[in-house]
Amino acid sequence: MRTEQPQTIRLTDYRQPDYLIDETHLTFELFEDHALVHSRLLMRVNGGQGALPPLVLHGQELTLQSLAFDEQPLAVGDYQVDAHSLTVQPLTKSFELVITTRIEPQNNTALEGLYKSGGMFCTQCEAEGFRKITYYLDRPDVMSRFTTTVMADRGAYPVLLSNGNLIASGEHEGGRHWATWEDPFPKPAYLFALVAGDLYRIDDSFTTMSGREVELRIYVEPENREQCAHAMDSLKRAMRWDEQMYGREYDLDIFMVVAVNDFNMGAMENKGLNIFNSSCVLAHPNTATDMAFQRVESVVAHEYFHNWSGNRVTCRDWFQLSLKEGFTVFRDSEFSADMNSRTVKRIEDVSFLRANQFAEDAGPMAHPVRPESYMEISNFYTLTIYEKGAEVVRMLHTLLGAEGFRKGSDLYFERHDGQAVTCDDFICAMEDTNGVDLTQFKRWYSQAGTPQLEIEGHYDAATSSFHLHCRQSCPPTPGQTQKLPFVIPLRMALLDANGQELPLYLAGQTQSLGTETVLAVTEAEQVFVFEQVSAAPLPSLLRGFSAPVKLAYPYSRDDRVFLAQHVDQRLLKVYRGVLADSSLDPAMVAEILRLPSEAYLIELAQQADVEAIHKVREWVRRELASALADSFRAVFQRLEEAGGSYSASAEAMARRSLRNTVLGYLMLTDSSDTLLACVRQFVEADNMTDRQAALIALVQSPHEQEKQAALEEFAQRWSAYPLVMDQWFSIQASNPLPGGLERVQALMTHPAFNIRNPNKVRALIGAFANHNLVNFHRTDGAGYRFLADRIIELNQLNPQIASRMLTPLTHWRRFDTQRQALMKTELARIMACEALSDDVYEVVSKSLN
Ligand code: PHE
Ligand code: ZN
């Protein structure tokens, strides 16, 4: 067990930086066994009269080689170095600091700072990776102008990139060359990036709304050059959308995206030089599913949108992380909604939020959208910061209306361009433009937990009025026992007996609110009275999931059936065998046919019975399959005929989605025709979506021979495609049939598996622990032990990934006492390890609390 606790950082301790860095001049000398980083910083004291405070620079895992103050080399006694910092005493208000550090990118398995991925050098600096490159004020409120020179061997690293514009380049002796980049926009160090490699470049261009020509470049390893068209197309659409919807134009002459295979997250918005996990750039119909296409589209847009919401206006400190992430996720989800089916996108996002963010909010790591403290900031790139943060921004949009929201965002960008600001500043811009007081609304930023909203309706025939009683509460979360009421936007309508929406008259108001309105629930208990209601209506509540809350309304069984008929006409039709109605959006039908995930059902339960949930859900699937078999067959047939050859259009994707959902059901019916059709689809498919759907159905079927043949064939054919092999691992790791753990253990020794590659870890270990619940939760605890062993291994190699893999164990309170004990035993075993990283320590210790 580690003896020292990591320090807790608190929002209330925030202080302005003592010093600022006006200019940062970096020179990197890259070699195979080390890199030298020469840094020249032009600095000055930040305001302040009187004595100059000591200058404390962040730095970690660095070997300091030399240090000079205004050209005076410092001797050993002139400064102090410890594991996290370098301290010197400035003698003048402004000065130049020159530092050389030595690092070893080739040994950097944490993938933070400067590291090697395959044959290329790349960086990842958010949140606090820059301090692993050189000593610096590595905090987002220190913004500086960067000039970067990269020097490396010309043969192995013909491409040398950094942020901004290329201003000079040249040759050196011994086959080396160099390039100098200059970024005119001051930025925090977390947005710094450098790439050196042998990369293929895809070129395109974009003309901005003011007529400026921007060069667009995607850099990939040469074998991936055929897989970039979709990312490039998505980028151009995102650029246009941000101009049209937010009036935001790109600001440099060049925008670069680089794909790397080893990356802890999805992608990173470094100024002018986004670095992407290859899984979020590469997409070709042969190798990527429709889901992967949509992910590429949304991540490319997300990172691009950060250029304004994150880079031009950045965060003052990391407690404000959701300022950029929540807003940017909201922006990218609206973009995706505009590019695809808005309804389907919303259903997907809400299902994801309810299954995963709600679980986080109910667990030991629950934290507000603006956290109050952390040990390791990397642990706070969470679903709460991202997805709930986006819901909070969406609620503002709902409350202020599209126009009010846009005006608020305009003011925010105008007022804070070039600054590092807070969530309060964002809200303040919304308040000032709209003349509203959002004080109470801000509780969404400060209070953790998922609010419960209980609503009851009473009809009073004597007065023709309908009373909607709302009661809100929020369960305690770590460090927050008492919660104050939130502002809950409740989008609603009242339906009459025919399912028609009634005009809404709130008591005391003569004007009708139309047939749909947004009520603001602001009290712990509150009653809304609707008048001129001639018969008992049925309320339709929380439309579009207008707030991230758990809604309870005592609908009767009859009411629910009625709602199913009238809230969404499509639902009942579908279940009545109108799978045959070809006028419906097939993607929507597929969504309706999809049962809630096991993870979501577990989240709903006070104490979840994993096996019962799995069995009942499977049983329902089988029942549906047999009851609707004829309709399923007809749809399968019809969509096959309509299909034709592959197209990437939204309509074609929707058809594939429905057809493959139907195939999944049909494969539960034990018909030899279906098995044949499935095998045929696997063999003959001209795209990965259909091929993969068939493979999943085979893998989860009892047909051993077909299954093994398909798996082998697939692995042989795609062994040179790491992203396809990720899918192959993940399909097997998610297979709920008995023996799951043993299958996963065997796959750990497969030549394509590599525990140092985060995508592989997620595909095999992550998929098993998160999506194969019956096998992971085996009653003998072997699933937990396996995961804990991997976490202990990863703790040494890549603490961020180790910590992320912990999530399933942190939810131990949801399960029966036997499983709780087994899960806690594993957490305790991890806790007892020596050399536990801050990342893992924080999550494990909070989970055991
Ligand atoms: N800022 C990145 C994004 O969401 C995510 C990220 C965080 C990437 C930390 C790497 C490290 O767009
Ligand atoms: Zn982001």
328 Cα to the center of ligand 2, angstroms = 6
- Give the phi and the psi of residue 559 in degrees, each rounded to 5: -55, -45
List all residues whose CB is within 6 A of at least one atom of ligand 1. 124, 126-127, 264-265, 267-269, 302-303, 306, 325, 381
Cβ 141 vs Cβ 420: under 8 Å = yes
With both helix axes pointing from N to C terminus, report the angle between 321-339 and 229-246 in degrees, rounded to the nearest 10: 110
- Give the phi and the psi of residue 543 in degrees, each rounded to 5: -60, 140
Alpha-carbon gap, residue 177 to 184, rounded angstroms? 23
Q: Which residue has the tokens 């974009």?
A: 206
Q: Could you identify the atom of ligand 1 that is nearest to the CA of residue 381?
A: 7
Cβ 528 vs Cβ 519: under 8 Å = yes
Q: Could you identify the atom of ligand 1 that is nearest to the CA of residue 386?
A: 4
Q: Could you identify the atom of ligand 1 that is nearest to the CA of residue 378?
A: 9
**Residues in CB range of 233: below 8 A, 6 or more apart:** none
Order of strands across the sheet that contains 35-45: 72-73, 63-69, 94-103, 35-45, 19-30, 144-153, 176-187, 165-171
Q: What pLDDT does 355 receive? A: 97
| CA pseudo-torsion sign 646, 649, 650, 651 | negative
Closest ligand to 265 CA? 1
Whole-prediction pTM value? 0.97
Taking 3-state DSSP, the helix, strand and coil percentages for the chain, each rounded to the nearest 5, stand at 45, 20, 35
Residues near ion ligand 2 (CB < 5 Å) are: 325, 328
The candidate with the shortest Cα–Cα distance to 405, out of 376, 381, 433, 442, is 433
Reading the block at residue 773, the tokens are: 């619940």
Q: How many CB atoms lie within 10 A of CB 454?
A: 15
Cβ 736 vs Cβ 775: under 8 Å = yes
Q: What pLDDT does 683 receive? A: 98
Q: How many CB atoms lie within 10 A of CB 549?
A: 21
276 Cα to the center of ligand 1, angstroms = 10
Closest ligand to 309 CA? 2
Q: Whose CA is closest to atom 1 on ligand 1?
A: 268
382 Cα to the center of ligand 1, angstroms = 11
Q: What pLDDT does 825 receive? A: 98
Alpha-carbon gap, residue 558 to 556, rounded angstroms? 5
Q: Could you identify the atom of ligand 1 that is nearest to the CA of residue 263?
A: 10
Partners of 217 in beta bridges: 203, 256
Q: Whose CA is closest to atom 3 on ligand 1?
A: 268
The candidate with the shortest Cα–Cα distance to 197, out of 299, 280, 115, 296, is 115
Cβ 191 vs Cβ 271: under 8 Å = yes
Largest CA distance in the chain: 95
The helix (H) or strand (E) run that includes residue 823 is: helix 817-831
266 Cα to the center of ligand 1, angstroms = 7
Mutate to test the pocket of ligand 1, among 265, 308, 378 (most ligand atoms within 8 A of CB): 265
Q: Whose CA is closest to atom 9 on ligand 1?
A: 126
Residue 127, preceding peptide bond in cis (omega within 30° of 0) = yes
Eight-state DSSP code of residue 777: T
Closest ligand to 329 CA? 2
How do residues 460-477 score in pLDDT, each as one tens digit? 999 999 999 999 999 999
With both helix axes pointing from N to C terminus, report the angle between 650-666 and 586-593 in degrees, rounded to the nearest 10: 30
Reading the block at residue 98, the tokens are: 């020159």
- Give the phi and the psi of residue 47 in degrees, each rounded to 5: 60, -145
Q: Could you identify the atom of ligand 1 that is nearest to the CA of residue 302?
A: 12
- Mean pLDDT, 10 residues at a time, over the chain (849 residues)? 91 98 99 98 93 98 98 95 97 97 98 98 99 99 99 98 98 97 98 98 98 98 98 98 98 98 98 98 98 98 99 99 99 97 96 98 98 98 98 98 98 98 99 98 98 97 98 98 98 96 94 96 98 96 98 76 50 60 88 92 94 94 89 91 85 95 95 96 97 98 98 98 98 98 98 98 98 98 98 98 98 98 98 97 97
Cβ 396 vs Cβ 444: under 8 Å = no
Mutate to test the pocket of ligand 1, among 263, 318, 322, 381 (most ligand atoms within 8 A of CB): 381
Q: What pLDDT does 642 receive? A: 77
Alpha-carbon gap, residue 632 to 571, rounded angstroms? 15
Cβ 557 vs Cβ 514: under 8 Å = no
Alpha-carbon gap, residue 327 to 391, rounded angstroms? 9
Q: What secondary structure does DSSP assign to 782-794, as a single string?
A: HHHHHHHHHHHHH
Alpha-carbon gap, residue 628 to 685, rounded angstroms? 25
For 213-216, the CB contacts below 8 A with 24+ separation are 213/253, 214/239, 214/250, 214/252, 214/253, 214/254, 214/255, 215/253, 215/254, 215/255, 216/254, 216/255
627 Cα to the center of ligand 2, angstroms = 44
Alpha-carbon gap, residue 598 to 639, rounded angstroms? 28
Cβ 579 vs Cβ 589: under 8 Å = yes
Reading the block at residue 293, the tokens are: 């296409």
267 Cα to the center of ligand 1, angstroms = 6
Q: Whose CA is closest to atom 2 on ligand 1?
A: 268
Partners of 113 in beta bridges: 124
The candidate with the shortest Cα–Cα distance to 572, out of 583, 560, 582, is 560
How do residues 384-435 score in pLDDT, each as one tens digit? 999 999 999 999 999 999 999 999 999 999 999 999 999 999 999 999 999 9
Mutate to test the pocket of ligand 1, among 112, 126, 192, 258 (most ligand atoms within 8 A of CB): 126
325 Cα to the center of ligand 2, angstroms = 5
The candidate with the shortest Cα–Cα distance to 12, out of 528, 523, 479, 550, is 479
Closest ligand to 268 CA? 1
Q: Which of 303, 334, 431, 826 is catalytic?
A: 303
Closest ligand to 804 CA? 1
Cβ 109 vs Cβ 799: under 8 Å = no
- Give the phi and the psi of residue 426 in degrees, each rounded to 5: -60, -50
Reading the block at residue 385, the tokens are: 């910061």
Alpha-carbon gap, residue 763 to 470, rounded angstroms? 43
Residue 658: C-alpha distances to residues 166, 269, 344, 774 (Å):
48, 34, 12, 26
CA atoms within 13 A on the CB side of 658: 30
Mutate to test the pocket of ligand 1, among 122, 264, 268 (most ligand atoms within 8 A of CB): 268
140 Cα to the center of ligand 2, angstroms = 15
Three-state secondary structure string covering 127-146: CCCHHHCCCECCCCCCCEEE
Q: How many CB atoms lie within 10 A of CB 637?
A: 13
Q: Could you identify the atom of ligand 1 that is nearest to the CA of residue 325?
A: 4
Q: What pLDDT does 592 receive? A: 86
For 77-85, the CB contacts below 8 A with 24+ separation are 84/58, 84/59, 84/60, 85/56, 85/57, 85/58, 85/59, 85/135
Report which residue type is found at 41. L
What is the Cα Rg of the chain in Å?
A: 28
Q: Whose CA is closest to atom 11 on ligand 1?
A: 126
Three-state secondary structure string covering 569-613: HHHHHHHCCHHHCCCCCHHHHHHHHCCCCHHHHHHHCCCCCHHHH
423 Cα to the center of ligand 2, angstroms = 15
The candidate with the shortest Cα–Cα distance to 807, out of 596, 616, 601, 603, is 603
Q: Could you identify the atom of ligand 1 that is nearest to the CA of residue 306?
A: 12
Q: What pLDDT does 4 receive? A: 87
**How far, rounded to the nearest angstrom, does the alpha carbon of residue 490 sit from its chain's CA centroid?**
26
Alpha-carbon gap, residue 37 to 64, rounded angstroms? 10
Partners of 35 in beta bridges: 30, 103
Cβ 214 vs Cβ 255: under 8 Å = yes
Q: What pLDDT does 575 receive? A: 63
For the question of residue 704 being annotated catalytic, the response is no
Cβ 74 vs Cβ 45: under 8 Å = no
Alpha-carbon gap, residue 318 to 371, rounded angstroms? 9
Q: What pLDDT does 561 receive? A: 59
